[in-house]
């Protein structure tokens, strides 16, 4: 199948996480963008030029096969870094960041923002340098587009969530809690299809923050909301961590719920063993043993 002009526009727009409404704002109707992407309409040369400017590319991008290959490379590199962040392999992520910083394919604003975000996370975990990490996260966040015209992107919400995690880790728990409350309200502006994994992630970290503030009821509230989304949407994403968090919070809130807490932790262990990460499994087994030996 030919890689059509409409398909190129749609792929790049989705890669940049720009909605059709944002792309067409001030230059044409959303219906026309939809028809162009569906290859039932052809843009005029002036309109295509405006679309290229809005998407941050040269007009030649739409007629260059190398550009398509570049998007595929960037997607693979981001997927690689995301996976290693999830597995806490921060050294591998830092190596990739240092390499991609020199890569012309990563010179666009949103990709520079992504690299700074991931670098901030790695610096915090590898060097335990909260000040430097927060500076990098602030630099990443301030690369955002005009906040008066554009709602926060998913990446920008994630950057603030990462700041909240750092503030929690350095015991600025109330400050972090305020960030989580702001983020949960901001999520309402995101398209539904983008929202679920992100809200699960933020609810999980908000639950951890509440646990660290000894507010076990609030911790259970956030964990329950996230678990409900996981079940309704068929997500395994973070479900093991959420069951772990809920089991710990429930036991702290009400030690008489020991058996239910252990059941939750053992359900979490079953999920962990589907994709084993030794560090997670050890922490979970330690918690199970602690609760079993209590009282």
Average pLDDT over the chain, rounded to an integer:
89
Supply the pLDDT for residue 17: 85
> Average pLDDT of 248-264?
97
- Using the predicted structure, report yes or no on whether residue 119 has a pLDDT greater than 60: yes
> Average pLDDT of 175-200?
81
Eight-state DSSP code of residue 276: -
Closest C-alpha to 227, from 244, 215, 213: 244
Burial class (CB in 10 A: 0-12, 13-18, 19+), 188: exposed
Q: Which residues contact 43 (CB under 8 A, 6 or more apart)?
A: 5, 32, 36, 51
Supply the pLDDT for residue 243: 98
Residue bearing the bigger pLDDT, 95 or 188: 95
The domain at 5-63 falls in which architecture? Orthogonal Bundle (1.10)
How does residue 186 score in pLDDT terms, banded at 50, 70 and 90? confident
Supply the pLDDT for residue 193: 47
Supply the pLDDT for residue 146: 65
Residue bearing the bigger pLDDT, 258 or 56: 258
What b/e string do you get for 218-242 counting C-beta neighbours within 10 Å, with b at 16 or more? Answer: bbbbbbebbbebbeeeeeebbbbbb
Q: Any idea which of 74-78, 167-171, 250-254 has the lowest mean pLDDT?
A: 74-78
The model carries a pTM of 0.73
End-to-end CA, the chain: 67
Residue bearing the bigger pLDDT, 151 or 153: 153
Whether the CA torsion 213, 181, 141, 245 is positive or negative: it is positive
How does residue 289 score in pLDDT terms, banded at 50, 70 and 90? very high
Hey, what are 95's tokens?
């190596």
Residue bearing the bigger pLDDT, 216 or 102: 216
**235-255 pLDDT, tens per residue?**
888 999 999 999 999 999 999
Closest C-alpha to 164, from 130, 140, 214: 130
Fold for the domain defined by 65-206? 1.25.40
Hey, what are 231's tokens?
């079940």
Q: Any idea which of 8-12, 46-50, 124-128, 149-153 has the lowest mean pLDDT?
A: 149-153
Supply the pLDDT for residue 1: 37
The answer to whether 261 and 223 are in contact (CB under 8 A) is no
Q: Any idea which of 118-132, 206-220, 224-238 has the lowest mean pLDDT?
A: 224-238
């Amino acid at each position: 199948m030919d890689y059509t002009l409409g398909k190129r526009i749609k792929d790049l727009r989705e890669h940049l996480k720009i909605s059709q409404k944002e792309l067409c704002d001030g230059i044409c109707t959303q219906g026309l963008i939809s028809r162009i992407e569906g290859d039932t309409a052809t843009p005029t040369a002036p309109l295509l030029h405006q679309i290229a400017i809005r998407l941050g590319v040269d007009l030649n991008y739409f007629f260059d096969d190398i550009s398509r290959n570049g998007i595929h490379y960037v997607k693979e590199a981001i997927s690689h870094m995301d996976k290693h962040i999830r597995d806490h392999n921060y050294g591998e992520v830092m190596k990739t960041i240092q390499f991609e910083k020199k890569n012309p394919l990563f010179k666009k604003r949103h990709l520079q923002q992504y690299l700074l975000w991931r670098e901030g996370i790695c610096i915090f975990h590898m060097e335990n340098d909260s000040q430097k990490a927060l500076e990098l996260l602030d630099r990443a966040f301030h690369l955002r587009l005009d906040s008066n015209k554009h709602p926060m992107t998913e990446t920008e919400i994630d950057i603030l969530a990462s700041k909240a995690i750092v503030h929690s880790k350095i015991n600025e728990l109330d400050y972090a809690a305020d960030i989580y409350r702001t983020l949960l309200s901001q999520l309402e502006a995101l398209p539904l299809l983008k929202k679920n994994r992100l809200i699960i992630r933020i609810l999980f970290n908000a639950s951890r923050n509440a646990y660290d503030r000894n507010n076990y009821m609030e911790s259970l509230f956030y964990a329950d909301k996230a678990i409900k989304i996981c079940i309704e949407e068929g997500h395994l994403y973070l479900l093991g961590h959420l069951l772990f968090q809920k089991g710990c919070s429930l036991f702290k809130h009400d030690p008489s719920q020991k058996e239910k807490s252990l059941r939750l932790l053992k359900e979490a262990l079953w999920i962990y063993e589907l994709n084993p990460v030794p560090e997670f499994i050890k922490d979970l087994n330690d918690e199970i043993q602690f609760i079993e030996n209590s009282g």
